[in-house]
Amino acid sequence: MDQPDAQTSSPAPNKRLHHLLFEWGIILLVALVVSIGLRTFALQTFYIPSGSMEPTLMVGDRIIVNKLSVDWGTIHRGDILVFKSPPTENCGGTPVVDLVKRVIGLPGDKLASVGNSIYVNGAKLNENWPHTEPLGNPIATLANPIVVAPHHYFMMGDNHADSCDSRMWGTITRSDIIGKAFLRVWPVTRIGSL
């Protein structure tokens, strides 16, 4: 005589819902930890509040900064860095916590300017990135150049005449650097690498 097949009992709907909620909770927790880890140690977005980096970065642009490129990489002349605002920064306007500028001088460099030209170690700097002239505030004279100290960097905005930068408040230390800007992500029409 045939016996009826035993029915497999499915978990109670309440138990399935708890299991599903637990799985989603774990997924969200892992995503949150990864997101915080990336922001703390690897990548961070920044908003551009002023025109000091025009035409490269416009007011309202959003950029992504790679923090690891400074910790494990090297800094080159021409890199765009985000760094903590120097305590001596007093250029008027609203105080800001972080600044974004371009590296002009590396440790050991001798910097000066004549007219609208910048000189590094006695040679005219080829600014092969977008920038505006006139230079505005001079850097120093060729006879008495600024010498960048070890582990320090001389920073300038691409909008030379409208930038409060190392010409006013001096060099920044490597420990104040947050990271290198490498990507503009907003507005959509201006997405691109830096």
Active site residue 101: yes
Write out pLDDT tens, residues 120-177. 999 999 999 999 999 999 999 999 999 999 999 999 999 999 999 999 999 999 999 9
79 with 28, same domain: the answer is no
Residue 52 falls in the annotated catalytic set: yes
Q: What is residue 139's predicted lDDT score, i.e. its pLDDT?
A: 95
Among residues 50, 67, 69, 101, the one annotated as catalytic is: 101
**Beta carbons within 8 Å of 73's beta carbon, 6+ residues apart:** 180
Q: In which domain, by residue range, is 26 found?
A: 12-41
- pLDDT (0 to 100) of residue 23: 81
Quote the pLDDT of residue 16.
84
Q: What is the CATH number of the domain that holds 128?
A: 2.10.109.10
Do residue 94 and residue 151 come from a single domain? yes
Per-residue pLDDT, 120: 97
Same domain flag for 22 and 107: no
Indicate if 17 and 71 belong to the same structural domain: no
DSSP for 49-99, please give it: -SSTTTTTS-TT-EEEEESHHHHSS---TT-EEEEEPPTT---SSS--SEE
Does the residue 37 lie in any domain?
A: yes
Do 100 and 175 lie in a common domain? yes
pLDDT tens-digit series, residues 19-49: 788 788 778 777 777 666 666 666 899 999 8
**Structure confidence by residue, pLDDT tens digits, 55-113:** 999 999 999 999 988 878 889 999 999 999 887 666 776 778 899 999 999 999 999 99
Between the alpha carbon of residue 33 and those of residues 19, 26, 155, 189, the distances in Å are 21, 11, 34, 31
Q: What is the pLDDT at residue 8?
A: 54
H/E segment holding residue 171: none
Residue 71 is predicted with a pLDDT of 77
Q: Choose the catalytic residue: 52, 69, 113, 166.
A: 52
Indicate if 114 and 177 belong to the same structural domain: yes
Burial of 170 per CB tally in 10 Å (0-12, 13-18, 19+): middle
pLDDT confidence of residue 66: 92
- Token pair 């927790």 is at which residue? 29
Yes or no: say if 67 and 193 are a contact pair by the CB < 8 Å rule.
Answer: no
For 1-24, what is the HEC assignment?
A: CCCCCCCCCCCCHHHHHHHHHHHH
